A and B are shown apart, each in its own frame.
Chain A
């Protein structure tokens, strides 16, 4: 069985400061892990994915995430927040060996303050 826990339902940062969105996962196998972003009234967009290659994954818009097996974590970071980063972020796990069977976390709402 697979599951994801997003440790913060809401995160607020000031523009230009670092972003950290925390995610812990549980998986019976070697997981694939994803971060998706959802802007209001828009579809979910893939930010980045980990599929057992490099543990530090770089995504779009300056985001990156590090897979830490010993901590079962896949936290999302960005060095400097921009106003356009305000959105809902979902950590997602798949242990089926593909991206067919995704389990989503409950989401973290990121607010960026001017």
Chain B
């Protein structure tokens, strides 16, 4: 069974540029999560989807970050414009309802 797929794995951009990350969850998993992981720290939740609905986006900086999960399957997280402080690893996870979360390998973003 395929795990959570994320792309790209690495992205280097200049500040003020836009960037997008893509995530495809495990087949059949209705819940999808985006996390931010800064160097030397544990992941922190940005947004959680139950099917197509964003049910917890309280930690998402809405002035520059946006996310969508239009058909309740794959999801895109966007930053526009990127800032130096956005350099981090962006993790996607999925689960079947409230069961165990399975994580993808992450996208490492570097903003120059």
Contact = CB atoms under 8 A, between A and B. Distances in A.
Interface residues of A, number: 21
Interface stretch (A52-60, A61-69, A71-79, A101-109): A101-109
Given A99-B98, A102-B45, A44 B40 contact: no
Q: Indicate the member of A43, A46, A92 with the most B CB atoms within 10 Å.
A: A43
B73 to A, nearest CB: 19
A44 B91 contact: yes
Contact of A99 (B43, B91, B99, B103): B99
A90 interface: yes
B103 A106 contact: no
A106 B42 contact: yes
Contact of B31 (A41, A100, A105): A100
Contacts of A107: 40-42
Nearest to B41: A106
Q: Indicate the member of B48, B95, B100, B104 with the most A CB atoms within 10 Å.
A: B100
**Majority secondary structure, B binding face:** loop
A28 interface: no
Nearest to A94: B98
B104 A100 contact: no
Q: Indicate the member of A41, A100, A101 with the most B CB atoms within 10 Å.
A: A100
Interface of A: 36, 41-46, 49, 90, 92, 96-102, 104-107
12 contacts: A44-B91, A44-B103, A49-B100, A96-B98, A98-B97, A98-B99, A100-B31, A100-B95, A101-B45, A101-B56, A102-B101, A106-B42
Interface of B: 3-4, 9, 31, 40-45, 48, 56, 91, 93, 95, 97-106
